[in-house]
Amino acid sequence: MRYQAEHKIAIHQKIVKDAARRVRAEGMTGTAVGAVMRDAGLTHGGFYKHFRNKDELLTESLSEAFGQIGDSLAQVARRAKPGMEWKAIVKAYLSLEHCDHAEWGCPVAALGPELARANQQSKERVLAEVMRYRNKLAPMMPGRRRADKERAFFAIYSTMVGAVEIARMLPSPAMREKVLKTARDFLLRSF
């Protein structure tokens, strides 16, 4: 290889990261290949030296996005006092900060319905990501047995996703915070 072996890989990673951000901000349909390449400081044509097509980029950036918040929330839990892990996750997820920055946040909250419309094959891939996500966070959830924790994960996660999504539709920060707080209080009292 003429260029350092790392070079192409580094560029590829940068494109994926920029796409992971843009996709959450503008949706999968709303994200143009050209825009992502511009983010990465490149032009649209070179795109196909890195990806077979747009779908491949979307798949990789989804994976990147799931990895990002999965790790971020796991870290929040690690910094929490013992027994408070899941509460720390709820507070972080239901923060105004997360609500107002979909581009760095949970891809389910940012892209749910679009993922729901994907074809069977894409859904299988999404499933794998969701399971990876769940496996990362379920241990921090309330409950004794593994199965209890997994059920708790889905109950809590459902509430968090819905609350953030509803809040994001609202025009004022005060209203958003009110919805978030309602969900926070509800969850923190429920387990």
Contact 164, 180 (CB under 8 A): yes
Closest CB to a copy of itself among residues 25, 35: 25
54 binds DNA (CB under 7 A): yes
Radius of gyration of the chain (CA): 18
* Cα 154–chain centre separation: 15
Which of 111, 108, 110, 112 minimizes the C-alpha distance to 134? 108
Residue 117 neighbours by CB under 8 Å, 6+ apart: none
Which of the listed partners (DNA, a copy of itself, none) does 75 bind, with a CB threshold of 5 to 8 Å by partner kind? none
The 10 Å Cβ neighbour count of residue 58 is 21
Closest CB to a copy of itself among residues 11, 130: 130
Residues 27-46 that bind a copy of itself (CB under 8 A): 27, 29-30
Residues 162-191 that bind a copy of itself (CB under 8 A): 162-163, 165-166, 168-171, 175, 179, 182-183, 185-186, 190
Residues 95-134 that bind a copy of itself (CB under 8 A): 102, 108-118, 120, 123-124, 126-127, 130
Can you tell me whether residue 170 is helix, strand or coil?
A: coil
20 binds DNA (CB under 7 A): no
Separation between Cα atoms, residue 191 and residue 184, nearest integer Å: 12
The 10 Å Cβ neighbour count of residue 145 is 8
Q: What is the contact surface with a copy of itself in residues (CB under 8 A)? A: 25-27, 29-30, 102, 108-118, 120, 123-124, 126-127, 130, 151, 154-155, 157-163, 165-166, 168-171, 175, 179, 182-183, 185-186, 190
Q: Which residues bind DNA (CB under 7 A)?
A: 1-4, 7-8, 11, 31-35, 37, 41-50, 53-55
